[in-house]
Amino acid sequence: MNQQHQTESCPATRPRRFYDCTLNEKLLYSSFLLLAGIAYMMALAYLYTSFDGIDGKPGLSVEDVAENYYGNRSGTRLESALRGSMASYIEIEDRNHVVEWLKSGAPKAGYERVIKPIFDERCIACHSAVSGLQIPDLSSYDGVKQVANVDTGVSLHSLMKVSHIHLFGIALVALGIGLIFRFALLPAWFQHTLTLLPFIAIFIDISAWFLTKWDPTYAYTVIFAGGLLGLSWALQIFISLYQIWFLRCRVEVTSEE
């Protein structure tokens, strides 16, 4: 007479999987992953609007990334800002007047007559000492002259400030997603690789910022590393969300005679 016994396919010492989690854990993990995914999409939107048009052309391109870090050595910092991140704050006609003035050598006479009224109307609310913001002061000719020089891109000081913030912040997000992703049931080599990829990608990305400051060719590395980070996080989030709610513990049926 045959007797059938149902047993788990894994021993009692097996690692925890998503199907072992309580409903409260599943809700907690799902909420975090969804919010992390939305936050990343908003970060991409912010990057797009920040870099879009830096090279004077619509859309985001490798040239936009290169000019942000390396600069436009044929133009000025002010011109790059007016064509890029500040383009939405000034009318096209006014921008053309400012660019024409910059290309003429930024004379003081032209500043008083044409440029100052434009800046007073469009820029001074933020770009002045009284605003308290850590941005160039455009309320005087001397202040404007400081950004009317050759554009060498973002400064090393700014890069160091932003990079340490990104390293701390993204490392914590990668840790949070990774701690949840460790419950996934996957081939060990694939899970280990996908867990490490975000940390590797952000290190390459931020290193490429400084390299692009030296050579604009490394802008391709910035884009590649950013894509690698997004892909690895997307896979971790989607795999985790799927297995949280749909993965079931497999059982084996053995027969004894």
Tens-place pLDDT, residues 216-235: 999 999 999 999 999 999 99
Which carries the bigger pLDDT value, residue 198 or residue 79?
198
Residue 159 lies in a domain: yes
State whether 46 and 159 are in the same domain: yes
State whether 130 and 247 are in the same domain: no
Residue 246 lies in a domain: yes
- Domain boundary among the residues 111, 129, 146 is at 146
Q: What is the DSSP letter of 16?
A: P
State whether 78 and 138 are in the same domain: yes
Residue 241 lies in a domain: yes
Domain count for the chain: 2
Under 8 Å between Cβ of 174 and 199: yes
* Residue 13: pLDDT band with limits 50, 70, 90: low
Burial label for 116, CB within 10 Å (0-12, 13-18, 19+), is middle
State whether 165 and 243 are in the same domain: yes
Separation of CA 224 from chain center: 12
Residue 105's domain spans which residues?
A: 73-146
Which carries the bigger pLDDT value, residue 180 or residue 251?
180
**Model pLDDT, residue 213:** 92
Mean pLDDT of the chain: 85
Q: What is the pLDDT of residues 50-66, one digit of tens each?
A: 887 776 677 788 888 88
Instruction: Identify residue 84 by its one-letter amino acid code.
Output: G
**Model pLDDT, residue 12:** 54
State whether 134 and 202 are in the same domain: no
**Model pLDDT, residue 84:** 73
Residue 212 lies in a domain: yes
Q: What is the DSSP letter of 249?
A: -
Residue 204 lies in a domain: yes
Contacts of 91 (CB under 8 A, 6+ apart): 122
CA distance 41 to 55: 24
State whether 117 and 135 are in the same domain: yes
State whether 164 and 230 are in the same domain: yes
**Model pLDDT, residue 56:** 65
Residue 182 lies in a domain: yes
- Domain boundary among the residues 146, 181, 197 is at 146
**Model pLDDT, residue 154:** 84
* Residue 7: pLDDT band with limits 50, 70, 90: very low
State whether 45 and 163 are in the same domain: yes
What element of type H or E holds 191? helix 188-214
Residue 5 lies in a domain: no
State whether 246 and 197 are in the same domain: yes
- Domain boundary among the residues 128, 146, 164 is at 146
* Residue 198: pLDDT band with limits 50, 70, 90: very high
* Residue 120: pLDDT band with limits 50, 70, 90: confident
Under 8 Å between Cβ of 53 and 84: yes
Helix (H, G, I), strand (E, B) or coil at 4: strand
Q: What is the pLDDT of residues 16-53, one digit of tens each?
A: 999 999 999 999 999 999 999 999 999 999 888 888 77
State whether 247 and 158 are in the same domain: yes
Residue 58 lies in a domain: no
